[in-house]
Structure 1
Amino acid sequence: MLSLTFAYVTTSRELVSFLDSLIIQESDAMVAQSRQGLLTQYEERLRQDPRRYKPAGLFTADGKRISGNIRQWPPGLEIDRAPIQVDIDRADPDLQMIQPSRALARRLADGNILVVGWSTKDNEQTASVVRRGLIFGLLPAFLLGLAASLLFAVRSQRRIREMQKRAADIVAGDFSKRLQTRNSEDPLDKLAQIVNGMLDEIQTLVENLAAIGDDIAHDLRTPLARVRIGLERARHSATSEEEFQAATDRAISGVDHAISIITALLRIREIEQTRRFQAFGSVDLAEILTEVGELYEPFAEEKQLALTVHTDMQTSVQGDRDLLFEAVANLVDNAVKYTPEGGRIDVALVSESGHTLIRVKDTGPGIAENERELLAQRFYRSDRSRHTKGLGLGLTLVSAIVKLHGFRFEIRPGDGFTAEIVLPPDGVECDKG
């Protein structure tokens, strides 16, 4: 409607502008003739007006009529101004009427005033035709738009009902259901894709939660069962205070192991809930690697391991220093535990392919290719660590810390075991030494 209204107004203005140009052109010619003492063009205009569309009149300086087919001075008309819309009182012998016209007044060389006008009846008729044409053009466009909107509304309602039905199945507990998508740019399709992504994440979290519950039950049952069996045996068979003391110490050790599992899980949960953003600040990674190396150097020497730390570049990141220290310490701790005597552990801060890496590499037995994606899961222990004391939560903790900082944790294939913390290029400040 706005477009058609604009077309109508523009057309009307063009018609008025065309009439104004004709009036100005004729009045200029008549004023030029008056300087020669002639008014032949004015008289010719009065004679050649069979349709009576061209009012013209000659008036004195004080507005009295001298000649022409205009009975009296048009109200509101000013001398030597642009053409305006006025109502002209026609003074034809056989016709008296008020004629809407465009007109202007020009002063002639002898002091008289010339009024030249042009009826706007044709303009009004043309504008009326244009208006009717636009209205008739608007009607089918409106009907077509209405039909299209109804069609789209029906389709949208059908899709919404489908989405409601799928959503009801999901609420009922069927997390395998997903909203139907058509790979289009439709807003509902985009919404369905977003919801499906959320459902994928929720399903993964629910499955992990169920698996974690099983793992917790399994890992806590063993130490608690040992505590119970040990205490029961001590109650029935211990004959001295020393035997009761030994049984009590074993029970305390078992309870401490169970508490360690719970503490580690709570620690991972705290990190995954991102409760520590307030502790973020500028952290010097080279300094962290150096401190971790100094901490584990005695343990490496005790096991006859060669532990080296390479920090040839100074790198600062925004993060929690304690958490990053804990992540690197866990990687080095794993390397010290699982590397056989006489082996080697390399801890390095390097730059490769535009990324800064924290790399911990050992000469231990390594892992199978099919285990790489499983190592960061809670309680998962590879074949190389089955007979080594631990909770199976170290790499899970590292993964949670790395994810909190927006970094990437990777385990590389090859000889030995290589773990890397990959930092994004836009979050690192480097000063190569």
Structure 2
Amino acid sequence: MSPRDLIRSTPLRLAAAFALAIVLLTGGVFVFVFEAATASRISQLRAVFVDEARKAAASDDARLRRALSLRLTRDFRRLNYVALYDSSGRLLFGNLDRKPDIPADGRSHYLPDFRLTAESEPEPTLMVARARLDGDVIVLGRSIAEVDLLRSILGRALSFAILPVAAGALAMGFFFARRTAARIKDIDGAIAEVVNGDLRARLPSRSGLDELDGVIASVNHMLDEIERLMSQLATVGDNIAHDLRTPLVNVRAILDRALAEAPRGSSLRPPIQSALRQLDRAMTAIAALLRVSAIEREHRHSAFAEIDLAGVCAELREFFLPLAEAKGVSLRLDAARPVIRKGDPDLMREAVANLIDNALKFTPRGGAVRVSATEEAGLAQIEVSDNGRGVPAAEVHDIFRRFARATNGADLPGSGLGLSIVETIARLHGMDLVLADNAPGARFKLTERSATGPGKA
């Protein structure tokens, strides 16, 4: 699988989605926990300041000043603010130059941009102002900038922690994507073998511990049953064909003897000769059926070797050239370069020979048959075309069925099994047999399904 296909693969997408989910969930949990902890901390500070302001308002002046002085000297980080103002707003004691713009209602107030002095940096602060019985106002405050600082520190820590987790999730996704892609490729290869007609092929399984292995086991069991039923069906057909061939041979021998003994001019000779022709046709059909069955049953991949498809076409052109000349049909070859593929040489010759024989049979005197072997976009292609009778448009999809014959060729000899044999051989070699209109005539193409199919060298 190419890197581009791997990136588009489902396992890698799931890994990316999982990594994103980790980032979002972790970030969400962080925000929730931090905000909950911050809200709890601020709530505690508010309660403490409100209580301290209440106690300070009830204290006498000397005790209050002493408490405020202790408050200032104990906080070396200057996070606490304390001040005592008279009724006119003049500072009596504390570290605040000016009175904060908050009501003296004894409640905590949040000031997002409080400055201790005009030159100092703004910082978020909680403040409480409360009026005393003598008219003075006590102010207590605390900077909560450490909350923002903590948020920044934790945010950086979270980002550094999430990145490795996300990268690890993507790496695992990439690993499992490659593993899954390789497994799917193996399964696809096995399916291609089954599609090509090898019912003995089975999907590869591994541990048997995941759902895919369960599906593979079911598919393989289904293929076992299909192979068994097809084997029984083929055996029945073969047995019937063999059983019919023997009596047909006997009947033909009897008719041959009767024809030899019948005097010339006898009225029995024409029906005997007609019966012999029908018997020959039946025996040809039986032989073709047995041939198709043998090809489908044997799946002779073990006999595959490197063959030159262009060479096969050239060899068959030489073989059929005398027949073509006798019929007055031009037989041309277009195979400029070798097309090397793996295949069964005898079966490939048989397939191309059937196509050439059909083309010559349906092409009238003066016509032309063209045979070509080419390679387009990495795919091998063999084409046999003629300018003869062609195939009626309504019968194009039926012409490959066994015993099917075009209506415009009923007067010519044939069993209706030649194209079925060609299609079976093509399927065994990972090729498709396609019929197209040659206007006039027909064009049969044997086209390789993929450059990595069974026929690829």
With structure 1 as the length reference, what TM-score do the two structures score? 0.45
Higher relative contact order, structure no. (Cα contacts within 8 Å, ≥ 6 residues apart):
2
With structure 2 as the length reference, what TM-score do the two structures score? 0.43
